[in-house]
């Protein structure tokens, strides 16, 4: 089989299992030559287990208007907000704290992100999540 020619590659973030072709997802798909209805149906089937959690997705569009997509793990901020049960991050992270997390818990959450992080070991992955937590107003202990 000959390789298909790629016309575009782009990223979106959408709620897993409950995505709709309404803005901003539909127009982004249409502008890149993807049938929104077809994509949404396949995306919701692939992310049914992540009901409502925001996940990243890399979409590759080919010259014959077919596409493939790869579902990534949720963003670190979403994982941390869910863990500390906060509605949103702090507007003033140096003054207003929204929760506490330990370094061991950061490492545990980093395992959930897995291969999407740019690091080689679990300790470095934990440090990446700890930095995100601090910037959101979450106190990191230990």
Domain extent, residue 36, equals 6-71
Final residue in a domain of this structure, among 42, 71, 100: 71
Residue whose pair of structure tokens reads 């869910």 in the numeric block:
82
- Distance, first Cα to last Cα, the chain: 54
Domain boundary among 71, 100, 120: 71
What are the backbone dihedrals phi and psi of residue 90, each rounded to the nearest 5 degrees, phi first? -75, 140
Total number of domains constituting the chain:
2
Last residue within a domain, chosen from 52, 71, 90: 71
Joined tokens for residue 9: 């590659």
Q: Please report, for the domain that includes residue 87, its CATH number.
A: 1.10.10.250
Q: Write down the mean pLDDT value for the chain.
A: 83
| 129 within domain boundaries | yes
Same domain? 92 vs 44: no
Each residue of 31-43: pLDDT tens digit? 888 888 888 888 8
pTM recorded for the entire structure:
0.73
- Of all residues in the chain, the percent with pLDDT exceeding 70 is 99
């Amino acid at each position: 089989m000959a390789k298909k020619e790629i016309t575009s590659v782009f990223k979106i973030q959408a709620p897993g299992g409950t995505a709709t072709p309404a803005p901003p997802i539909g127009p982004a798909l249409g502008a890149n030559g993807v049938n929104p209805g077809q994509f949404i149906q396949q995306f919701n089937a692939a992310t049914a287990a992540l009901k409502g959690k925001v996940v990243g997705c890399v979409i590759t569009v080919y010259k014959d208007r077919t596409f493939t997509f790869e579902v990534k793990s949720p963003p670190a901020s979403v994982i941390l907000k869910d863990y500390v049960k906060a509605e949103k991050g702090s507007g003033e992270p140096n003054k207003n704290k929204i929760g506490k997390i330990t370094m061991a818990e950061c490492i545990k959450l980093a395992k959930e992100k897995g291969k999407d992080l740019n690091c080689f070991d679990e300790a470095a992955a934990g440090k990446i999540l700890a930095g995100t937590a601090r910037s959101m107003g979450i106190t990191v202990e230990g």
